[in-house]
Amino acid sequence: MILTVTLNTALDITYRVRALRPHTSHRVSEVTERPGGKGLNVARVLATLGHEVTVTGFTGGATGRVVQDQLTTTPGLVDALVPISGPTRRTIAVVDEQTGDTTQLNEPGPVITPAEWSAFQEAYEDLLPSASAVALCGSLPPGVPVGAYAGLIRDARAAGVPVLLDTSGEPLRRGVAARPDIIKPNTDELAELTGSHEPFRATQDARRRGAHAVVASLGPEGLLAVTPEGRWRATPPTPVHGNPTGAGDSAVAGLLSGLVERLPWPDRLARAIALSAATVLAPTAGEFDRRAYEELVGRVAVTGEVSAA
């Protein structure tokens, strides 16, 4: 089973409007809701790919109950979320149908008490022995220690479970020092971590800081991976336009499933790119278009070199 951790879960709500204009009223043509937060997005894609997935993190209030009710409809996904007293946050994505652009509004997460954080740590440690890999994803809600991911990485390493970290800022800086197997920052997060705006140099620096492998997201230009086995650049076969919500999380699912399946790095990167592009093309934010994925995955260009033994 693959374990995904989402400490700041959410209910993702998507509104579609004909044209988004400031300072005016809008008639919403369509509303969709689904469980959100980066780790839940990753888990849903992994389950669709056929992997058994357990999700953990926090859930609370009426919004949290909606999230958990919807999780039960995903085959292959097990809910191990930890209850809290505060309400799960909501995120609002407003899609402009004329331009395809998306405006995102993210509520703050609930305050986590020391007792709730301790309860989560116990649940996480209980789940690790059954996990083939762990994904630690997203922001930290108020009350969770800034070094939380570093501690969770050390727990996973002690249990012999590979771990992927996808976060930003100080949690990323501290997490990298705990030596995760993979990190997946975007260029801004990588520059903040290393001080370098040159992607290859920054990626190398992130490895020196402790990450075993670094996969940098270059946005529409694809992925750059620097690993002990070699370095590669993966690019999509054609530009895609649509809603990018969840595209990075789909890339994480591609990398994590490739890790568990022991795929070569070029195949992992091709899967990550194809899933990301297929998510942009999907009509619902955070889902992926299966037909587009199957058509794209064989056309992703991956170039690079294998390190000398």
What is the CA 252 to chain-centroid distance, rounded? 5
Q: Are 2 and 52 in contact (CB under 8 A)?
A: yes
Q: Is 72 exposed, middle or buried (0-12, 13-18, 19+ CB in 10 A)?
A: exposed
**Nearest-CA neighbor of 248 among 222, 211, 210, 212?**
222
Q: What is the DSSP string of 223-254?
A: EEEEETTEEEEEE-SS---S--TTHHHHHHHH
Residues in the chain: 309
Active site residue 249: yes
Q: Tokens 């199957």 — which residue? A: 294
**Nearest-CA neighbor of 8 among 182, 165, 178, 141?**
141
The values of phi and psi at residue 72, to 5°, are -65, -15
Instruction: Please name the helix (run of DSSP H) or strand (run of DSSP E) that holds residue 247, with its range, or none.
Output: helix 247-260
Question: Of the residues 79, 249, 267, 289, which is catalytic?
Answer: 249
**Nearest-CA neighbor of 139 among 258, 245, 10?**
10
- Residue 186 gets which letter from DSSP? B
Q: Are 241 and 202 in contact (CB under 8 A)?
A: no
The values of phi and psi at residue 29, to 5°, are -85, -25
Q: What residues act catalytically?
A: 249
